[in-house]
Amino acid sequence: MKKHNIIKTFFMCMAVMLGACTDDLDQMPVAETTFRNVYAEAANYKRVLAKIYASYVLAGQGQGGDNGDLTTINGQDFSRGYFNLQEAATDEVANTWLSGNNLTDLTYISWNAKDSWVSDSYYWLFFNIALCNEFIRHCSDDELSKFTPAEQSEIRTFCAEARFMRAFSYWMVLDLYRQGPNVDENTPVSGYIPEAYDGIGLFDFIERELTDLVAGGSSASLPDSNEYGRASKPVAWALLARLYLNSAVYRGSVDTQYYTECIEACKQVINNTSYYLEPDYAKLFNADNHKRTHEILFAMVCDATTSVTWGGGTYLVCGSCGNSSTQDPAKYGLTNGWGMFRARGEMVDKFGDLTTSADTRAMFYTDGQAQYFTGPIDNQSEGYFFEKFSNLNDEGVAASNSAATGCSTDYPLLRLADVYLMAAEAQLRGGTGLSRTEALGLVNQIRLRAYNQDPSGMISDADFTLDFILDERARELYLESVRRTDLVRFGYFTTDKYLWQWKGGILNGRAVNDKFNIYPIPDTDLTANPNLHNPQY
């Protein structure tokens, strides 16, 4: 059986539910089996931890999201909504099923506080935060005193992982919404309206948590290494790097830049001899990508046997294959394609002429497809289909019956190549601790891999600019839910500095209101918590 053991320990008796998209996000999760009973046994702590990890990619306790944890508008898991928020409005993804999949407003950057994906993603994040808080509450010294010393030690490691997952969820809240309720393990579970974190408050909390989790010699810190799919110190360092790289955006001032700190965090990963770039780029995105632990630091784990989902890797693999084109779904290990999304022409153009490009990352299906749009964005014959993700194993065999149980391809959230590019960008932005030559060398390692070790893919010092880095991030990380964050950081997401087709809802693209750099807090939560507000919406 593939994947890590923690997914196997995910158990259905832990039907930890918030019921509906509830207004009171800090309330006690409702369960048929009470937490008092669950935390009575040491063995159950790992099972609850599995639930915390699984909540990013599973919508409920049953196969494919049956017996759902939340009553959401779209009825989908968190991973699907997160991808839509990070990719649908950018120069990378063109969606086909606009009205049917509630993606019109995201696609045209015209959403409001009632948007279904904006709301669903917000509540999923705070569902995960609620799970983490409850877990951490039951890790006090008094509560653990009934267990053996060995059990206590193991549970404290689990607690550190839960704190990481809470920090990761809060980072997504910061990145997407720039504010949110301030709830932790000490927040009362009922009868309390939490204060709001602003961008600075969120940043400071996440930084404190992550720096504590990577501290050496502490019983509260993360392990130096862990089984695949679980948090460790290198994973926390990578998330810290992402936090620091976007510090000026998150804190709202160019005077609060943490680029030197970003480089230091990146070096903690880069200098770890356990990690190196996977030689074959395509293998990072197939059904055996759980074997690439030398590059994939952290991923949403998907498995057609133990964790069936219609989000995660399934959404990427099935959604990228056309259902009215000449594509053969079997080529990607699929029973059928969904025709969900295609590449926008500007993104493809970053690879140059595909007929002559030697860049192995240019993975697009072009037969019968036009690169650019001449009309509506939902025309499946315009825009190339992506071929980056597949449901094939290393032997080229389909890993599952995708129509029945989805795909077995994991969805990477943090990769070593991303860490290289973050370090290089931070150096260009003025960070210290890494020379320009060293930063250029990191970029060229990625370029050499992309060109099968052919030096023609390497760039010179004259090419090494911030705009090059942004384009290289698109080439290396497309479909990996970082594009919106990158465009916002560069000041390109809403402005006319960079236009792409259908940006702002018109064919040739246009600038939009800067308020769209941030997603709004859902109306329902504004009603429940007067400490939250959407001044721009």
- How many Å apart are CA 364 and CA 387, to the nearest integer? 5
Low-confidence residues of the chain, pLDDT below 70? 1-35, 62-68, 217-218, 254-255
Q: Name the residue among 27, 33, 28, 30 with its Cα closest to residue 11.
A: 33
- Confidence (pLDDT) at 69: 77
- Confidence (pLDDT) at 28: 40
Q: Which domains does the chain have, with CATH numbers?
A: 5-222+519-528 (1.25.40.390)
- Confidence (pLDDT) at 66: 66
- Confidence (pLDDT) at 289: 98
Q: Convert the pLDDT of each residue in 434-482 to its tens digit.
A: 999 999 999 999 999 999 999 999 999 999 999 999 999 999 999 999 9
- Confidence (pLDDT) at 172: 98
Kindly state the DSSP code that residue 392 receives in the 8-state scheme: B
- Confidence (pLDDT) at 383: 97
- Confidence (pLDDT) at 164: 98
Q: Convert the pLDDT of each residue in 326-361 to its tens digit.
A: 999 999 999 999 999 999 999 999 999 999 999 999
Quickly list H helices, 89-140.
104-107, 116-137
Are 296 and 412 within 8 A, CB to CB? yes
- How many Å apart are CA 490 and CA 501, to the nearest integer? 19
Provide the phi-psi class of 433: left if phi over 0, else alpha when psi is between -120 and 50, else beta. Answer: left
